[in-house]
Amino acid sequence: MLTYFSKKNVNSNIQFGAQNISNTSLSFGAATGSISASMVKTSGAEYVILGHSESRSSGDSLLIIKNKILHADKTKLKIIFCMGETLSQKKRSQSLAVLKKQIIGSVTKKINFNNIIFAYEPVWSIGTGLVPSPEYLEKTFLFLNSYLKNNFKIKSPKILYGGSVNPANIKGLRSIKACSGYLVGGASLKAKNFIEIIKNYYN
């Protein structure tokens, strides 16, 4: 499917990505059911999402995510690295510590940081309709921006927000400092909703 759409849109500004890759370093070979980084790249995709909470809950450890990031980087895929805390971690005031642990455990200084985009997705907000307060997001994004600059020497970190983004709340989310954009989930499944998000952002 990726190959079909990438070929159909070869002369457009639309770029495609995959939602995951396998943990195997094999470009091709006996890895039944797995899709390697090189397979995604040769399909015409430019991006891959790694570290999503659903993948983590299905067994992706920090080490597995680190290996996937290394494979993606090696094949020159642009990485969207997801991170976020659960509701119980938030209630115990562990949010920033959890984000730091996820970054340290999965992101190595060996990769090309021009090809990585960080995405803050609080697990308790994904698909629930719950959106963190502006103060909470401001604190989180400033922390991430400072941490990535100081510890990974990234001059201008790209950090997205994801978690129940919709046409009604996009104007409020627009005010978050250090936020580079949005990783839209369920609201992107209907073209009308996605278009409304874009319109409301600029109006």
Q: What is the pLDDT of residue 8?
A: 82
pTM of the shown model = 0.93
Q: Could you say which residues of the chain have pLDDT below 70?
A: 26-31
Marked catalytic residue, from 52, 54, 138, 196: 52
Contact 160, 120 (CB under 8 A): yes
Q: What is the pLDDT of residue 30?
A: 55
- CA 98 to chain CA centroid, Å, is 16
**Alpha-helical regions (H) of the chain:** 2-8, 37-42, 53-57, 62-74, 87-91, 95-106, 134-152, 170-173, 191-202
36-42 own/partner pairs: CB under 8 Å, 24+ apart = 36/71, 37/68, 37/71, 37/72, 37/74, 37/75, 37/77, 38/75, 40/2, 40/75, 40/77, 41/75, 41/76, 41/77
Per the DSSP assignment, residues forming a β-bridge with 83 are 120
Query: Which residue matches tokens 């927000």?
Result: 161
Q: What is the pLDDT of residue 13?
A: 87
Q: Known catalytic residue: 71?
A: no
Enter the DSSP assignment of 60. -
Q: What is the pLDDT of residue 50?
A: 98
Which sequence spans correspond to the domains of the chain? 31-202
Q: What is the pLDDT of residue 26?
A: 61
Q: Known catalytic residue: 138?
A: no
Give the dihedral sign, CA 133/134/139/143.
positive
Q: Which CATH code, of 3.20.20.70, 1.10.3720.10, 3.40.640.10, 3.40.50.2020, is assigned to 31-202?
A: 3.20.20.70
Marked catalytic residue, from 54, 71, 85, 121: 121
